[in-house]
Structures are given as C-alpha cells and as structure tokens.
Amino acid sequence: SKGEEEEEEEEKPKPRKRKGGGGLAAVKEISDALANFLGKGKKMARTEVVKELWNYIRDNELQDPNDKRKINLDDRMQDVFGTETFTMFSMNKYVSAHIHPFKPVDLTPKEPKKRKAKPKKEKNKDKKTRKSGTQAPYQLSAELTRVVGKEILPRPQVTQALWAYIRENNLQNPDDKREILCDAKLKAVMGGKDKVTMFSMNKYITPHMLEKLDKSYYTHPDEEENAKSNESETGSDSEEDSDGDE
C-alpha cells in the first residue's frame, strides 16, 4: 500500500555527504609564477603540483645522473624557484613558497628534539659539540655584506640574515607580504630593482655569492658558544690546580 511504501522510503539511510579533501590534497592558491609554469590555473592541490613538477623533471631529464636525489633546474624552473639546484628533500620547501600561505624558503637545518639531559661525565669535558648540517660558506660581495653584516656566510644563513634585515626595516609590502620594497642597500643587491618578490629574490642573491670557500672559513654561532664554554671550563680548572699547588 501507499502508506507502507512511504515508511520504507523513510527507513532508507540517507547517503553521507563527502567532505572536501584536506591536508596535502586541499586545493589552495598558487603563485603567478608557478601557475604560468604549470599551466593548470591559479588553484591546485599540493599533491597535484608535486606530481606535475616530477612529470616535468623526468620528461626533461633534470635528475643528476650521478645522484638521482639531486635536481638540476633548467632555465624555466630557475625563473620560478630562483635556484640552480635542489634535492628531492628540499624541493618541498621551494614548493611551499609558491602555495598559500607562501612561506619563505628556509633551508636552516632543524634542531633535533632535545632528550632529557644526562649527567655529564668528567671524561667528556674536553669534547667539542659540532653543529651538524653546516653548508660550505661563500665570500660575499661588498653590497651583500652591507645588508647581512658578514663577509662570509653559507647560503641558508644569507637567506636568514636577509629576512632579518627585511623585517627589521619593515620592507614587506603591507598589502602583499610576498612583495619586498627595496631600500637603497637592498636595491644594490637586487639588481637596482625598487621591488622584488620573495620568489625572485634568490636569483639576485646568487651573483653576490662570489666564491665558495672551505667549511673551515665559517664557524656556526653554536660552535662559537661551545668553544667559549670549553675555554671557561679550562680556565676554571687551571685556577683550581694553581690553588691546590699553593
């Protein structure tokens, strides 16, 4: 009967609505440079961006034949990412700079999670703790030195120092944080441009990194602190020894 049919229809479970993809599959705004390069529009999921980039890398044989983890960027990719090479591991950081919220590229090695401190043994007192992951430093141009305050720095520290300078001097465009408004010092580094983007900035920095130097030319700030603490410990030990001799 008609009444029974209506009851059956009411008992049927309603189909659940599918929720939109989240996380890496979430569709987000991408930069103009990346959108023009990929030709897939202004909004893409990170997974699709990475997939298209790998298709391009393989089609153009951009993987280093001696180390497949290293990607040698061609001119088109260099115009987008502002670097000559990256690895399959650092690639994601360069991609992130082109996907909303457009985080600047930061290649500073992450500090390992600190474990609970164990009591130090006396025999370990003379050992120095070295900073892992320090890249080879470069001799910097006079123009870049005036901005970052150092004549010799590895590339990650150059990027760090540049961003510190930009923030200290409020050089980001308040209406578009991806745009940098150059002051006189920065203009000398950025090819005389009045403004650059966080994406194009790297290609202007490279010519100012004049010569790659041996790692011994640069001491990481953490290593300097360790050296100072070791010196102070050695000094206090020698004072105690002299007191004992008296």
Residue 147: predicted pLDDT: 92
Q: What percent of the chain has pLDDT over 90?
A: 24
* pTM score, whole prediction: 0.43
Q: Assess contact for 152 and 137: CB atoms under 8 A.
A: yes
For the stretch 163-200, pLDDT in tens is 999 999 999 999 888 899 999 999 999 989 999 988 88
Tokens (6 digits) for 226: 């360790």
Choose from 100-104, 220-224, 237-241 the range with maximum mean pLDDT.
100-104
Residue 164: predicted pLDDT: 92
For the stretch 137-166, pLDDT in tens is 888 889 999 999 989 888 888 889 999 999
DSSP classification of residue 146: H
At residue 92, does pLDDT exceed 90? Answer: no
State the virtual CA torsion across 63, 66, 70, 74 in degrees, nearest 10: -40
Of 125 and 189, which is predicted with more confidence?
A: 189
Residue 132: predicted pLDDT: 43
DSSP classification of residue 82: S
Average pLDDT (193-215) is 86
User: Mean pLDDT in the chain?
Assistant: 78
Residue 64 has phi, psi (to 5 degrees) of: -65, 125
Residue 182: predicted pLDDT: 92
How far apart CA 115 and CA 54 sit, in angstroms, is 37
Average pLDDT (60-69) is 89
Residue 169's contacts (CB-CB under 8 Å, 6 or more residues apart) are 183
Average pLDDT (99-111) is 76
How far apart CA 193 and CA 141 sit, in angstroms, is 17
The two beta strands, 172-173 and 176-181, are antiparallel
Q: Assess contact for 181 and 194: CB atoms under 8 A.
A: yes
Average pLDDT (89-112) is 80
Average pLDDT (218-222) is 73
Of 244 and 115, which is predicted with more confidence?
A: 115
At residue 43, does pLDDT exceed 70? Answer: yes
Residue 91: predicted pLDDT: 87
Binned at pLDDT 50, 70 and 90, residue 60 comes out as: very high
At residue 110, does pLDDT exceed 70? Answer: no
In a 3-state reduction of DSSP, which class is residue 97? coil
Q: How far, rounded to the nearest angstrom, does the alpha carbon of residue 83 sit from its chain's CA centroid?
A: 12
